[in-house]
Structure 1
Amino acid sequence: MKKIIDRNGRLFGFISVIDLLVIVVVAVMGFALYTKNTQMAITSTNTADQTITYQILASGIRTYVAEAVREGDQLFDPDRSSGGTLGTITDIQLMPGTKLAEFDDGTVAAAPVEDGVDMLITVEGTGLVSQSGRYTLNRVYELGVNSSRTFCTKYAEFIGTVTEIF
């Protein structure tokens, strides 16, 4: 009758116990990698993009900047160039320019701006609308009301605030 482990530390006289442990660890790690890379649970759903229409207010911008923005232009975020377009400008409304100003008595009010206009832009883009009311343009760009960001078109750059999402 043979011993299970002989004097040289071999299992049944053929393979070392340490070698066997290394083979088992490598096999378990290989199985774990295979399972991770091929058996992942479905994390995304097959949802179609929806049309998202929103408005941006740019206050007190220079007149020449407003004249460079046209209906039909694509809107971008210069900080996120890889995200693609934020949509197409469908409507532009120009109003007399105002900026918030602080007066000597400590009050703050909208004051007229010389050589400036307020521009209300309506933009139509595509993205996801979650059930919790979150909007994601191009599946990567979070859109929220009252968020103030730098926007740009092919010929103009301005700071605007998202005022409404339809």
Structure 2
Amino acid sequence: MILDKKGKLFGKVSIIDIAIIIVVIMGLVIVWPKVFRKDTGTSFVAKMDKLKIVFYQSEVQNFAVEAAKIGDIVTDKILNSTFGKVVDIETGESVSWVRTKTGEQAKVSKEGYSSVFITVEGTGVYGNNGVKIGNGEYFIGQTITLHVGKAAFYATIYDIKKI
């Protein structure tokens, strides 16, 4: 018989002893990796980096550019992300492309329109594949609807730098 009259397995180990050994082994299997894991260097909260982001729009109405001011908060309302504050606004002639009578493309400027570079400083998580700001991930060359103070722009991300 496997169990004797006293409830011992092969006359030496009781069933309760076996149950305790199984519980201890299961506990070690669960706890061991948590206590003795190798630190991967990642954390639940990513480190925020200070960023400088430059937005560009080749053709925007002058009154929209004039409404944007240094110090204005810059947001992406679609993803509810706040980029930071405007630190510089540079304007130039608007850039439009038209086809000439010979079929070539020619660069022209429109009256009442400007091109604009808007430089913003803020925080986000800078990575090899762009930046994460608020709820969105952003990349150089990406075009977004940008809200600067009371003005709106359909701007392209021209540059992103960690400062």
Equivalent residue, structure 2, for 1:101: 98
- 1:120-153: per-residue Cα shift (whole Å, max 9, x none)? 11011211112x3431113x22111111111112
TM-score (norm. length: structure 1): 0.66
2:84–2:121 contact (8 Å) kept in structure 1: yes
* 1:65 partner SS: helix
Equivalent residue, structure 1, for 2:153: 158
| Aligned residue pairs, count | 124
| 2:89 corresponds to which of 69, 92, 107 | 92
* 2:77 partner SS: coil
Taking structure 1 as reference, are residues 144 and 109 closer, same or farther at Cα in structure 2, changes over 3 Å only? farther
- 1:41-100: per-residue Cα shift (whole Å, max 9, x none)? x9854432001111111121111100000010011112123x3x1211110011112223
Taking only aligned residues, the RMSD between alpha carbons, in angstroms, comes to 2.4
2:129–2:139 contact (8 Å) kept in structure 1: no
- 1:118 is displaced (CA, Å) by 0.7
Taking structure 1 as reference, are residues 105 and 148 closer, same or farther at Cα in structure 2, changes over 3 Å only? farther
| 2:112 corresponds to which of 93, 112, 115 | 115
1:149 is the counterpart of 2:144: yes
Instruction: Specify the code of the residue in structure 2 equivalent to 1:113.
Output: K
Equivalent residue, structure 2, for 1:134: 130
2:74–2:84 contact (8 Å) kept in structure 1: yes
Q: Which runs of 5+ in 1 are unaligned?
A: 1-38
2:95–2:109 contact (8 Å) kept in structure 1: yes
TM-score (norm. length: structure 2): 0.67
* 1:79 partner SS: coil
- Distance in 1 (alpha carbons) for counterparts of 2:107 and 2:143: 18
Instruction: Specify the code of the residue in structure 2 equivalent to 1:142.
Output: E
Equivalent residue, structure 2, for 1:68: 67
Q: Which runs of 5+ in 2 are unaligned?
A: 1-33, 35-39
